[in-house]
Amino acid sequence: MKFPILLILFFISAFSATAAKPVKIYNELYRPQFHFSPEINWQNDPNGLVFYKGEYHLFYQYNPFGNEWGYMHWGHAISTDLVHWEQLPIALFPDNDSKDKEVCTEFSGSGLVDENNVTGLQKGDEKTILLFYTSQKCGQRLAYSNDKGRTWTKYEKNPIIAFNETDDARDPKVIWHEANKQFVMVLYRKPDNDEKQKGISFYTSKNLIDWEYKSHLPGFFECPDLVELPVNRRADDKKWVLFNGDGSYLIGTFNGEKFVTESPKLPGDLGLNYYATQTWSNIPEADGRTIQIAWMKGGEYPKMPFNGQMTFPCVLSLKKFTDGIRLIRKPVKEIELLHGKGEVWENKNLIPGINKNLTHKVDNDCMHIIGSFKIKTVDTFGFVVRLDKKNNGTEIMYNVKSKTLTCLGNSVIVEPIDGTLKLEILLDRSSIEIFANDGSAVMSSCFIPNENANGIYLFNTGGELLVEKLEIYPMKSIWQIEK
């Protein structure tokens, strides 16, 4: 009788060990399958975006203790292709051993590679990666790594810009200004606690440690970014773009110390959930892209172990239109790495009440939709995505008369080009990103679809619509599924 008893005890022990081990599947009902999200707990702003030796580093505001904002640390992930992400240990912990929900916790900031060791912090053969961040109510601070970002050390003479209780300084973004051969920091501030002065201050430095104030531009709030972009891809015609926390932007000139505006403040995104944009530093010249990502602020993920996701990485450019220069945003080409076997339709003329749903065979909860539509006599057209068997779903609709593209209650005016409207849609389990006319208008929104609602319906009302070309690809998961 001893053998069966021992066998039973063995199985109980084995089952207990297996049950105690956490299962990481990244396959929950509302888990984004090709947008970044943390394994568990709260995530907000992207921080410290930097490229070094084939790796894109993504840091982010992170609460390791729960699904609510507070107790900010810097989470950390890396990617070699901008789509597949490997979670690394927490990079930055609160300063002064703070246990407070806010004081001395790690607010937002940026990253940069110290290519020429101007800080003198390099030890060994690897270039030093620097992280500039706000230690809330404890000043602007610096951390660095000499091992490709695997471990981090706080600069011993922190803060590099002291805390001022009459100010609300935070979210430093540091760039190299080639023309002046110096570094520039753009920092959100509220001088003298004056609401009217809330805006962006500009600082300069030769060594990335000692910073000198130069100028201030009111009218901004949080998470600034500053990039130089060619207009219409012309290397001899460049403009500077200054970003606000909500993704809105100004176009102008920048001499290394002062920004001069040449445009009104323009919206960067017309969706429901888009905030805290930031671009990657140190992208190689051979690549040449300016790559941006943002937090999908306000998204909801009922009963999920995580709270937060990023937008899909996008390439920025400037294009001249009849009403001025505007920002263009398009998904990075690496998105094609996630394509499954898709469906393609060309030159399909749709007549209301006659044609069946062109896309009736498509059945997936994650899709990349690319379409070019010739507007003939149609009044409205669009898609109903995440369609269930009762014909409930989320509508993406273009109204020809008002020239408005609408989704989830938000609208943006989009002018057809030569009678054609182009749409590119990234549909994930809890988000929809719509890029109209090659990224000239963008809407990024979170949503909560019905369970087991994986259909899609292409509709048109009032007249004919020519589908010049429509591609729909099911999207592979970026996560390694563990069962």
Q: Could you give the domains of the chain?
A: 41-333 (2.115.10.20), 339-474 (2.60.120.560)
Amino acid at 481: I
Strands 306-307 and 41-52, how do they pair? parallel
Provide the β-strand partners of residue 281: 50
Helices (H) and strands (E) counted in the chain, each on its own, are: 1, 32
Average pLDDT of the chain? 93
Is 339 in contact with 320 (CB distance < 8 Å)?
Answer: no
Phi and psi at residue 31, to the nearest 5°: -75, 120
Q: Which of 45, 114, 171, 225 is catalytic?
A: 45
* CA torsion angle 480 481 482 483 (round to 10): -160
C-alpha neighbours within 13 Å on the C-beta side of residue 141: 27
User: pLDDT tens digits, residue range 92-143?
Assistant: 999 999 999 999 999 999 999 999 999 999 999 999 999 999 999 999 999 9
Give me 477's structure tokens: 């998961």
- Give the contacts of 167 (CB within 8 A, at least 6 positions apart): 189, 190, 191, 192, 193
Give the number of other Cβ atoms within 10 Å of residue 54's Cβ. 11
Helix (H), strand (E) at residue 189: strand 182-189
The reply to whether the predicted model has a pTM over 0.85 is yes
Judged on CB neighbours under 10 Å (0-12, 13-18, 19+), 256 is: middle
Annotated catalytic residue 246: no
Share of the chain above pLDDT 90, in %: 91
User: What's the rounded Cα separation, in Å, for the pair 317 and 87?
Assistant: 30
Among 37-51, 115-129, 343-357, 444-458, whose mean pLDDT is lowest?
343-357
Query: What pLDDT, on the 0 to 100 scale, is given for residue 481?
Result: 56
C-alpha neighbours within 13 Å on the C-beta side of residue 218: 9
Band (174; pLDDT cuts 50, 70, 90): very high
| 403-411 mean pLDDT | 97
Band (356; pLDDT cuts 50, 70, 90): confident
Judged on CB neighbours under 10 Å (0-12, 13-18, 19+), 457 is: middle
Please say if the pLDDT value at position 482 is more than 90: no
Band (24; pLDDT cuts 50, 70, 90): low
Give which of 425, 456, 432, 427 is closest to 359, Cα–Cα. 456
User: pLDDT tens digits, residue range 35-80?
Assistant: 999 999 999 999 999 999 999 999 999 999 999 999 999 999 999 9
Cα–Cα separations (whole angstroms), residue 167 to 72, 95, 204, 231: 20, 19, 19, 36
